[in-house]
Amino acid sequence: MIRRRGALFVVSAPSGAGKTTLCRETRQRLPDLAYSVSYTTRPPRPGEKDGSDFCFVSAQEFQALRARGEFAEWAQVHGNLYGTRASVLQAALDGGQDILLDIDTQGAAQLRRRYPEAVLVFIVAPSMSELEQRLRERRSDAEKEIMRRLDRAREEIATWRSYDYLVVNRDVDDAVNQLTAIILAERARTSRLGLTLPDLELPSKEAHD
Amino acid sequence: MIRRRGALFVVSAPSGAGKTTLCRETRQRLPDLAYSVSYTTRPPRPGEKDGSDFCFVSAQEFQALRARGEFAEWAQVHGNLYGTRASVLQAALDGGQDILLDIDTQGAAQLRRRYPEAVLVFIVAPSMSELEQRLRERRSDAEKEIMRRLDRAREEIATWRSYDYLVVNRDVDDAVNQLTAIILAERARTSRLGLTLPDLELPSKEAHD
């Protein structure tokens, strides 16, 4: 066994790129991957469960948590507030557990500053026209809302180079394979491996300097 | 489609760690991965094919290639010479094809200097005692040869931190999964992605600086 700190996997994507599905499928493949449930002030959508999809809170509750410095990142998206509990991340990292976060580009940038070793993955639809089509197929949104989401998507996509990885969601299975591969690969990075246990008998770097 | 330069995947391991099997299985899973066939002055082992397992050459031929600067790396291992043809690597990289190299730690260090963006993967057996057992099970080697390989293994293992990834070959399937994951993940690294085609409509970094 090799000791290792937990790693943060941050996934961002414009609405309609398929992020929620990809994260869900990837978590099913990697049951040892923890998930950071975001806090939000937006109302639950049909089928969403409090505490597993999101922690739904009032604007007042959110502001109180924020004022107490409880959020590792927070952002306003489409008029709603979203945040990640710092204590949840810290517990996972200290316990050597990898944790997945599904957050927007503003939040990802904040986490990068706080945790420079975080792994940032950006997911895109194969094209803007494909993204638009996917948003229209949802049929839940009014035309004005679709246009607003597309505008925001363009802004978000412009930040892709600040991410470590780009996954193009052309086919769900391929994209899940790629996201899973990123997590498995990062676990094998020597820069994430601490001192090794006697079992492996790998000399530590210090011993040879 | 996103344009991308080919990537070099360099795999090293002490004898007995299972590198040859892992590389073969990984190549079967990723048929689009090219393979750099090493030149060597060592005699073929039973079943090894000239041109696919190694390019077997005489010491004279090897020295002539080396003198002409044809090798991207070369090294002496257990008294035999091994080298990688630079032209083969360059053709793969320029053609956008990923290429796998199975080379020793000295060669890996040379390649890292020549191609800083190369991906270096080190494979280890779960422990030195396991490694020793695997070498003994081969039964092809005399005791003195086994001891020589173990001594060399210790020296090679000491370089593990200069590699990007460490794969512990406890179970062949798991190790192949991990090696395959490393290759898939590296293909998605934003640092390897060039300018994007209009299809994706991803603004290039330059356009936003």
Determine if residue A139 is left, alpha or beta; phi over 0 gives left, psi from -120 to 50 gives alpha, anything else beta. left
Tokens 């053609």 — which residue?
B95
CA-to-CA separations, B182 to A24, B38, B81, B134, B175, in angstroms, rounded: 22, 22, 29, 25, 11
Only one residue has tokens 């040379």, namely: B110
User: Which conformational region is residue A62 in: left (phi greater than 0), alpha (psi within -120 to 50 degrees), or beta?
Assistant: alpha
Which tens digits make up the pLDDT trace of A64-112? 999 999 999 999 988 999 999 999 999 999 998 999 999 999 999 999 9
Contact A193 B166 (CB under 8 A): yes
- Chain A contact set for B177 (CB, 8 A): 184
What is the model's pLDDT at position A97? 94
Average pLDDT value for chain A:
89
pLDDT, average across residues B19-25: 94
Q: Which residue of B has its CA nearest to A153?
A: B202
- Helix axis angle, B19-29 to B172-187, nearest 10°: 50
The pLDDT assigned to A204 comes to: 43
The band of A118, judged by pLDDT with boundaries at 50, 70 and 90, is very high
**Strand ranges (DSSP E) for chain A?**
2-4, 8-12, 34-36, 39-40, 55-56, 71-77, 80-85, 99-102, 119-124, 165-168, 193-196
| Average pLDDT over every residue of B98-112 | 95
| pLDDT tens digits, one per residue of B151-209 | 989 999 989 999 999 999 999 999 999 999 999 999 999 988 865 533 455 544 443 33
Domains and CATH numbers, chain B: 2-194 (3.40.50.300)
Cα–Cα distance for residue pair A153/B200, rounded to 1 Å:
13
Q: In the prediction, which pLDDT does A181 show?
A: 98
Q: What is the Cα–Cα distance from B23 to B44, expressed in whole angstroms?
A: 18
DSSP code per residue over B89-125: HHHHHHTT--EEEE--HHHHHHHHHH-TT-EEEEEE-
Give pLDDT, residue A107: 95
Whether chain B has a CB inside 8 Å of the CB on A91: the answer is no
d(CA A28, CA A180): 10
The alpha carbon of residue A134 is apart from the nearest alpha carbon of chain B, in Å, by 15
- Taking the Cβ of residue B82 and every Cβ of chain A, the question of whether any pair is shorter than 8 Å is answered with no
- Predicted confidence band of residue B139 (pLDDT cuts 50, 70, 90): low
Predicted local distance difference test score (pLDDT) of residue A3: 66
Per-residue confidence (pLDDT) for residue A205, from 0 to 100: 41
CA nearest A202: which of B177, B183, B166?
Answer: B166
